[in-house]
Amino acid sequence: MKNCTSTALILLSLFFGFFLVILNPSLSLAASDSTAEDLYVKGGKTIQAGTGLLASPLLIKKERRHLDYSMTYLRGGYFLNDPSEKKFLPRGNLEGIVQVAGSNVTEGFGDYMVELAFLLRYNVVYPDWRIVPYFQFGAGIVYNDLYKDRTQDLIGQSIEFSPQLSLGFRFLLGRGWSLDLEGMYHHVSNAGLDDRNVGVNAFGGSIAATYFFGSSK
């Protein structure tokens, strides 16, 4: 479906456009009732809910079956440490995340995927920024019905694995809330446990909201 791919491209374009706003020094939380330094503290917790679109393959379609799907996810996060200066990274902290996601196929084969994943996120935290960039990686286990279609060789069994990588940012709206945009790479395969294991390499974007709770300054 061309509309799915186009929407995913638009989401990614918005993500990179908004990411440039980080360079604007006028972005400050001085007028807000909280700061990034208040929210991103050791022991703090987050609930993030979002939805987005992914396409596989995004541009090059040779020798690989096309698959587009929408993903809706719920993530629970826990800040593992206070923000601090790093030797090879910008100032920030680590966040451990558990993700539950459901995906509906919009073009391709099969109908659904259900995922449980564990992610590690690095948040770039500076006290006077309203925007908090982050990057994350992790992997999960996917239950699906895509494998039932014997005309394809991407997915070979009901249980697959899902290494993934994301780059995004949170825009802090006020005390305890943020609006989030994220670009994602999402891979699904079975590590050679079945003869059908070409795998899915999907790219896309999502929009989400986060609520902060637990420890705070």
Q: What CA–CA distance (Å, rounded) separates 57 from 201?
A: 6
**Helix, strand, coil content of the chain in percent (nearest 5):** 15, 50, 35
Convert the pLDDT of each residue in 57-111 to its tens digit: 866 556 678 899 999 999 999 999 999 988 889 999 999 999 999 999 999 999 9
Convert the pLDDT of each residue in 97-150 to its tens digit: 999 999 999 999 999 999 999 999 999 999 888 899 999 999 999 999 999 999
Phi, psi dihedrals of residue 7, rounded to the nearest 5°? -65, -40
pTM of the shown model: 0.83
Q: How many residues does the chain have?
A: 217
Which position has the token pair 């030797």? 87
Tell me yes or no: is domain 2-22+34-214 CATH 2.30.110.10: no
Q: Where are the domains of the chain?
A: 2-22+34-214
